[in-house]
Amino acid sequence: MRCDYCGAQAKVYVPHQGIRLCVNCFKKNVVSRVEEEVYRFNMLDPSDTVLMGISGGKDSFVLLDVLSRLHDPSKLIALTIIEGIPGYNRQDELDFVKKATMERGVEHIVVSFKDAVGLSLSELVNLGNEKRLGISACTFCGIIRRRIINYYARQLGASKTATAHNLDDEAQTLLINIFRGDTSKLVRQHPLAPVPSKKLVKRIKPLRKIYEWEAATYAYYSGYRFQSVECPYIIYQPTVRARIRRWMIMMENEEPGIILRLLNSFDEVVSQRLISKSGSTLLLNECKNCGEPTSPGREYCKTCELLMKIGVIKS
Ligand code: SF4
Ligand code: ZN
Ligand code: ZN
């Protein structure tokens, strides 16, 4: 089997494009599709300093590798967040990220939940459980991670933050927002959506048109070491997302390209006019406790609300 681009031995079949590629051409194909997406939505300016959330997972490794090819590595900062999950945040994974960032000339910083809010994720979860609040670990994790990334981006003078969400993640979120009828979140998901607060740093998702399997394959052929340990809280991930994910994979297997077409249709339907119309009505408040942005109509940000619920701070 020969590579459709260069004639070398093919290693990867890309069903949504109907092509067989060698490892080199496959990696070039991924990088050029990310570049195209970055260009299409004007995600990066050469002057941008970008703070990337680099967890050490495969997608974040791909984000680091691809962005350091497309942007000046001295203007990239990798931020690893240590949630504080016993048995999960391991030193050897952190060492791997340190090495990978150093090899690419990217600055690397590490921040823990404990540094940011005074407690590790497991301590937060335990306090919530003691009070029988029914708050899942993933809720704490998602809200506090977003807060840390935005806060450190501001502190470090970054003009953009970049996350490693892939096509599967984005398509799942899109369908969840549609099923919930949450049109405001739906519009905010679009790469051209305006930033609704001066305190929010613009977030970009360069891998939003790269399938999860493509990111995994790219990582594999780039020397990434897959983690053998899964987060113990993964069983608490929202079931709706997990169901949509299973359904999407089944549909994609039957009709390759279906997930990509879904996101492309979203990009076409949500026009710039619609975004500026909805964006102008959405200006965030500032939290009464910490001053961070929060949704209109709320007094406190989600992080402070959670910390109040578990009794760590007073209202
Ligand atoms: Fe955080 Fe949940 Fe992912 Fe674990 S599974 S890292 S708790 S979001
Ligand atoms: Zn080739
Ligand atoms: Zn707050």
Tell me: the pLDDT tens digits for 215-271? 999 999 999 988 778 889 988 877 899 999 999 999 999 999 999 999 999 998 887
**What is the whole-number distance in angstroms between the Cα of residue 260 and the centre of ligand 2?**
23
How many angstroms is it from 215 CA to the middle of ligand 2?
18
* pLDDT number for residue 21: 98
- Cα 229 off chain centre by: 20
Cross-strand partners of 78: 52, 108
Q: What are the beta bridge partners of residue 52? A: 78, 162
**Among 80-89, 104-113, 278-287, the range of highest mean pLDDT:** 104-113
Q: Which residues make Cβ contacts (< 8 Å) with residue 124, sequence separation at least 6?
A: 113, 117, 140, 144, 306, 310, 312
Which atom of ligand 1 is closest in space to residue 142's alpha carbon?
A: 8
For the chain, the first-to-last Cα distance in angstroms comes to 65
Locate 95 and state its tokens. Answer: 């060492």
Q: Would the CB of 81 count as within 6 Å of ligand 1?
A: no
Residue 250, CA atoms < 13 Å, CB-side half-sphere = 6
d(CA 201, CA 198): 7
Ligand 1 in reach of 311 Cβ (< 6 A):
no
pLDDT per position as a tens digit, 134-162: 899 999 999 999 999 999 999 999 999 99
d(C-alpha 205, C-alpha 171), whole Å: 13
**23 C-alpha to center of ligand 2: Å?**
7
* Euclidean distance between CA atoms 173 and 41, whole angstroms: 19
Q: Specify the residue with its C-alpha closest to ligand 1, atom 7.
A: 138
pTM of the model: 0.94
Mean pLDDT of 56-78: 97
Q: Please report the pLDDT score of residue 276 as a whole number.
A: 65
Q: How far is the CA of 289 from the centre of ligand 3 (A)?
A: 5
Q: How far apart are CA 149 and CA 303, in angstroms?
A: 13
How many Å is the Cα radius of gyration of the chain? 20
Angle between helices 167-180 and 212-220 (to 10 degrees): 160
Placement of tokens 């340190």 in the chain: 98
